[in-house]
Amino acid sequence: MSATLPDIATPVETPPPARPRMFSATGVAGLALLSFLAALAVLGPILVPWTAADRDFEAFLSPPSADHPFGTTPSGGDILVLTLLGLRRSLLIGLVVAVAATTVAALVGAFAGYFLGWVDRTLMWVTDLLLVIPAFLVVAVVSSGQDDWIALVVLLAAFMWMVTAKAVRGAAIAARDREYVKAARFMGVPSHRVVLRHVVPNLASLLVADATVNVSAAILAETSLAYFGFGVVPPDVSLGSLIADGAPTALYAPWTFWWAAGLLIALIVAVNLVGDDLRDRFDPSLRAYA
């Protein structure tokens, strides 16, 4: 056997390929912005002397001043503390929904792709069904009676995993024939354990990148819902509900609208920068023309 193989000299002196940098410049910028916003969301509300329930009866709809650096609402609420609390809630919703949706997507996609056959057909049919039902409708209908933001998170997550699940399924089909999966199977590891211990962990890169994209998708979805008064309800605030409250007064009291809108855009930009960077790293085919 070995005699038929051409004798190829192994280049001994080849330097090992340079380790790719952890993050690109835009990724670092996104990460920095995201950390800053997260710090604001966590620490900000503690440092501001006002609380969300406080009303300053000497300053209704007043422009930014020393007392209220971001101005006040028509009912005298301090916009700085409201915006920071809204940022906290929006960030929290985005993170929790993304993690939950990606977990569901990983499980559904990996089981469908690994088992194929009727498991695949059933799971993919459910996936298609949820894609066809307008998610907005269901979330709006169900959350119109709820005042619990956890319920909102569950609902948003329930309608955000399908596209990722399809991608995971494709990757899982490819992983089926990889040696490490075959090895595990032939060693008699039970199928469900093969999926959970060998298939899913090896799709981690895809999952991390998709989870990041889902963070911004969830925050944007919450914003739309809040505009119609669904989802986050008073006295709780999110950036979406603040934007909805501020929009009617945006013309003559710009501070009621722009702080929340600006922070929301900054937040999405930061998450997207990090997400794009992760995706480029894990899927170099997408980077071809960057």
> CA separation (Å) from 79 to 125, 208, 287?
46, 34, 41
Shortest CB 226 distance to other proteins, Å: 8
Nearer to other proteins, 80 or 263 (CB): 263
Shortest CB 201 distance to other proteins, Å: 30
Shortest CB 60 distance to other proteins, Å: 22
Q: In DSSP terms, which residues pair with 78 in a beta bridge?
A: 72
Nearer to other proteins, 129 or 183 (CB): 129
Nearer to other proteins, 26 or 103 (CB): 26
Closest CA to 149 of 207, 92, 80, 214: 92
Shortest CB 278 distance to other proteins, Å: 15
Nearer to other proteins, 137 or 174 (CB): 137
Residues 26, 274: Cα–Cα separation, whole Å: 8
Q: Which residues contact 273 (CB under 8 A, 6 or more apart)?
A: 26, 27, 29, 30, 31, 33
The answer to whether residues 275 and 227 touch, using CB atoms and an 8 Å cutoff, is: no
229 SS3 class: coil
- Tell me, what amino acid is at 173? I
Nearer to other proteins, 200 or 264 (CB): 264
Nearer to other proteins, 108 or 273 (CB): 273
Residues 59, 72: Cα–Cα separation, whole Å: 7
Shortest CB 263 distance to other proteins, Å: 11
Shortest CB 273 distance to other proteins, Å: 8
Shortest CB 270 distance to other proteins, Å: 9
Q: In DSSP terms, which residues pair with 72 in a beta bridge?
A: 78
DSSP 128-179: HHHHHS-HHHHHHHHHTT---HHHHHHHHHHTTSHHHHHHHHHHHHHHHTSH
Nearer to other proteins, 72 or 127 (CB): 127
Residues 288, 271: Cα–Cα separation, whole Å: 22
The answer to whether residues 225 and 240 touch, using CB atoms and an 8 Å cutoff, is: yes
| Residues at the contact surface with other proteins, assessed by CB under 8 A | 125, 128-129, 131-134, 136-138, 140-142, 144-145, 216, 220, 223-224, 227-228, 240, 243-244, 247, 250-251, 257, 261, 264-265, 268-269, 272, 288-289
Nearer to other proteins, 26 or 205 (CB): 26
Shortest CB 27 distance to other proteins, Å: 13
The answer to whether residues 87 and 41 touch, using CB atoms and an 8 Å cutoff, is: yes
